[in-house]
Structure 1
Amino acid sequence: MRILVTGAAGFIGRALLQRLLVDTDGADITGLDLVAAPPEASGARLSWISGGLDDRAVLEQLGAASFDRVFHLASVPGGRAEVEPALGRRVNLDASLDLLQLLAQHGNRPRVVYASSIAVYGALSGAPVSAQTEARPLISYGAHKRMVEIALADHTRRGELSGIALRLPGIVARPRPVSGFGSAFMSELLHAVSAGESYACPVSPDATAWWLSAKVAVDNLIRAGEIDVCGTLQLPALRLSIAEVMAGLALLYGAERPARVTFDPDDSIEKVFGRFPMLEVDAELALGFAHDGSAAEMITNALRAGYI
């Protein structure tokens, strides 16, 4: 088996690559990212391509190989894509479409797992959200993710790819320094409390979001590569308030460390990242996708060595 991981040096890609190197005996794995391979990514089964998908030479190099399974994680984050719209379009949309077309031309119908995003939904009304919720993205990042979902579905309809798009929620805990994401407080809160540091949280204790650890996100990506189901799915996640996360932190570290957290709510952040409704993911759970189970398990998984 030949496996391709794009964005392989990123937060999720790095953890996925580690898992694949351990769990897929005999598979030849190609990692692609703008930077060099991370130190822990090594071995005779791993090939590395340093470059971007928006580089024609990189695409030609990929086109020379045939892959059985592809995890497409590479993207320009939403905040940067808004500031640099040409870059966002070139990488998140144009290069992704080119990659799908290239994979489709080999004729072997590879399994393609695409990391989409809850950004496709846009403003959340308070009604429960599922993969069937109408997509109304409010930023270019979400719009481009939705366009690639549609293109993947079309290639799948034509029998050229076996495509599944997973809409990822907030994944924690991103490594420090955590920046460039409006949801950075989700990771920074966990890091600060686990380290016994003071922290001014920019949302209120009542702010509610969808939480998923990097470990379980990788479990779900692996699951998506193994099953035959195609289409667009919403990954399960725990819907937790900051107060519930704080209770989980107190359970793990005692009450003293969470007591060092103060609250200085920023309404612009809380409006976007702190008012998430219920998720309806019964179908995804039935397919073997999962969340962390509890706040304490999510925190433990999120701060687990190898995923931070």
Structure 2
Amino acid sequence: MNTLVTGAAGFLGANLLRSLLADPRGGHIVAVDLVPQSFPDASGRLRWITGGLDDPAGLAAVAATRFDTVFHLASIPGGLAEREPALGRRVNLDATLALFDRLAEAGTRPRVVFASSIAVYGEMAGDAVHALTPTRPTLTYGAHKRMAEIALADLTRRGGVSGIALRLPGLVARPGGSTGHGSAFMSDLLRSVAAGQPYVCPVGPEATCWWMSAACAVANLRHAAAIVATGDIQLPALHLSVGEVVAALAETFGPACGRLVTHRPSPEIERLFGRLPPLWAQEAEALGFAHDGSALRLVAAALAAD
């Protein structure tokens, strides 16, 4: 069995790759990223391709192998894509469509798990989000993710691939110094408090977000590869206020930790990332997808690698 992971050195990609390499049943893995290989592989199952899918040479190197399973995670993050729309289009849309086409042309109908985003909905406030919520992206990142979802669904309908797109929420806890992610404050909050460092939060304590640990996201990605369902899936996620997450941190690390957080709300960040409504994901849960379970479990899972 051959598996492809794009964006393999990224936050989610690295966590997924570790999980796949730890599973002896996983077969051979081809990993693609702009940075050189940084993963030890005593099993000899990993082949690393350094390059980008927006480079014809990089795409050709990937297409030389026929894959059973593909995890397409590579992308330019939302904030950077908004500042540099041409770069965002080249990587998030054009390279993605080119990869999908090459996979379909191979004739093996691989299982393609695409990391989409809740950015496809646009601004969300008020009514709960559910399986039939319209997609009205207001950022370039979300628009390109939605276009890729449609293309994947069409190739699936035509029989070239078996595609499933998972709409991911903000994932925690990304390493410090992350750039380009508008939701980076979610990770910065967890990491700062866990380290006993003061943190000025750009949203208020009542701001609500959808939260998911990287470990939970990996479990959902791997589950998506193992089932037969296709189409767009809104993953379950915890709907928590920042105050609830701070309370969970204080319960985990001690009451003094909660006093490390002060709030200086940014209207733009709060508007885009701090007013998420409740989420109804019963359809996804019926398919076996899951969230972290509770604020305490989220904190434990998100910081487990530390």
Please indicate the TM-score interval, normalised by the length of the shorter structure. over 0.9
1:57 aligns to 2:57 (yes or no): yes
Q: Distance in 1 between matches of 2:148 and 2:16?
A: 21
1:185, 1:201 within 8 Å by CA — same for their partners in 2? yes
2:115 maps to 115
AA of the residue aligned to 1:154: D
Structure 1 pair 138–16 and aligned structure 2 pair: CA distance change class (3 A): same
Partner of 1:23: 23
Deviations 1:252-276 (A, max 9, x none): 0111111121111112211111110
Map 1:72-151; keep pairs closer than 5 Å: 72-151=72-151
Verify the 8 A CA contact 1:14 1:38 in the aligned structure 2.
no
1:18·1:41 contact (CA, 8 Å) conserved in 2? Answer: no
Whole-Å separation in 2 of the counterparts to 1:26 and 1:79: 34
The aligned length equals: 306
Correspondence list, 1:116-265, <5 A: 116-265=116-265
Q: Contact between 1:18 and 1:40, CA under 8 Å: does it hold in 2?
A: no
RMSD: 1.2
| 1:269 corresponds to | 269
User: What's 1:287 paired with?
Assistant: 287
Question: 2:123–2:137: 8 Å Cα contact kept in structure 1?
Answer: yes
CA spacing shift, 1:77–1:40, aligned 2, 3 Å = same
Q: Say if 2:20 and 2:26, in contact at 8 Å, map to a contact too.
A: no
Task: Give 1:8-47 correspondences, 5 Å limit.
Answer: 8-25=8-25, 27-40=27-40, 43-47=43-47
Is contact 2:125–2:275 with CA below 8 Å preserved after alignment? Answer: no
Q: Does the Cα contact within 8 Å between 1:34 and 1:52 map onto a contact in 2?
A: yes
Deviations 1:105-138 (A, max 9, x none): 1111100000000110001131111232111111
Structure 1: distance between partners of 2:147 and 2:179? 26
Q: Deviations over 1:159-188 (max 9, x none)?
A: 110000000000000011233222111001
Asked whether 1:6 is paired with 2:23, we answer no
How many angstroms apart in 2 are the aligned matches of 1:245 and 1:69?
Answer: 35
The alpha carbon displacement at 1:251 in A equals: 1.1
Counting aligned pairs with the same residue, the percent is 58
Distance 1:251 1:102 in 2: 50
* Alpha-carbon distance, 1:190 to partner: 0.5
Shift of the 220–26 alpha-carbon distance from structure 1 to 2, 3 Å rule, reads closer
> Runs ≥4 in structure 1, deviation > 3 angstroms?
39-43
Opposite residue 37 of structure 1, the aligned amino acid is Q
Report the Cα distance in structure 2 between the residues aligned to 1:148 and 1:279, rounded to whole angstroms. Answer: 23
Q: Is the 8 A contact 1:178 1:187 kept in 2?
A: no
CA offset at residue 55 of structure 1? 0.6
TM-score by length of 1: 0.97
Q: Note if contact 2:80-2:181 (Cα within 8 Å) is conserved in structure 1.
A: no
Contact 1:6 1:72 in 2 (8 A): yes
Aligned mates of 1:256, 1:290 — CA distance in 2: 32
**Aligned amino acid, residue 159 of structure 1:** G
Paired residue secondary structure (2:205): coil
How many Å apart are 1:43 and its aligned residue? 3.7
Query: Does the 8 A contact of 1:170 with 1:212 survive in 2?
Result: yes
**Is this contact kept in 2: 1:174–1:187, CA < 8 A?**
yes
Aligned counterpart, 1:303:
303
Q: Distance in 1 between matches of 2:115 and 2:26?
A: 25
How far, CA to CA, are the matches of 2:7 and 2:94 in structure 1?
A: 16
TM-score by length of 2: 0.97
* 1:19 Cα offset (Å): 0.3
Q: Which amino acid aligns with 2:111?
A: R
